A and B are shown apart, each in its own frame.
Chain A
């Protein structure tokens, strides 16, 4: 089945650092990927929709300059948290849409736990 790999699974870094998270579709081409942020008490928030070869579409309230999304190929989307601060600490999850798969609209990565000290 379709597999989405997310890396790293966990990152701990100092305040002010920029952190890049990768989301790869391993056995299919994903024209569309999604980035979510999961808050405490499990609420899942869609941050942006990433389309290969074009600018990402951000949800209302998400800072584009803070959360940079690049979808340069059909198998890779990256989320860069720029100048991260403690309030950016969260669990970030990506997913990819499998074209033509009506049984399962999105396949999810295993998430990245980001901790900013």
Chain B
């Protein structure tokens, strides 16, 4: 079945540091890929997405590129802020199955310190 593997956390960075959170996937067909963010005590919010190979999703300074050859969708940000502290989830949706279910990675907790 489909699966998502993302780097274990927690990740602690100083403000303005460069962020990379690795994400790789296993899926049949051509899934769509997503990054969700969860702030403390809240539900999940869509951060960015990509629907086909070589697409780049971007939002709020975060970027991720759909790499089919390496089955990866790594999240990057050039300069993190304290307000970016949250848990980040990589996910895929294989709508070919018709279910629209999301398969999530285990999440990576990011803490940004001033």
Contact = CB atoms under 8 A, between A and B. Distances in A.
Interface residues of B, number: 24
Q: Which label, helix, strand, loop or mixed, suits the secondary structure of the B interface?
A: strand
Given A42-B107, A42-B109, A44-B107, A34 B101 contact: yes
Nearest to A32: B100
B77 interface: no
A46 B43 CA distance: 14
Chain A's interface: helix, strand, loop or mixed, by majority?
strand
Contact of B100 (A6, A103, A105, A108): A105
Given A34-B101, A43-B106, A49-B99, A111 B42 contact: yes
A42 B89 CA distance: 9
A114 B45 CA distance: 21
B42 A42 contact: no
A93 B102 CA distance: 13
B43 A6 contact: yes
**Nearest 3 CB-CB pairs, A to B?**
A42-B107, A108-B43, A108-B44
A111 B43 contact: yes
B45 to A, nearest CB: 7
Interface string A77-94: 000000000000000010
Given A42-B106, A43-B107, A104 B46 contact: yes
B77 to A, nearest CB: 19
Interface string B25-67: 0000000101010100111111001010000000000000000
A93 B41 CA distance: 11
Contacts of B100: 32, 97, 105-106
B99 A105 contact: no
Nearest to B87: A42
A109 B102 contact: no
Nearest to B46: A104
Nearest to B108: A42
A43 B91 CA distance: 12
B104 interface: yes
B48 to A, nearest CB: 11
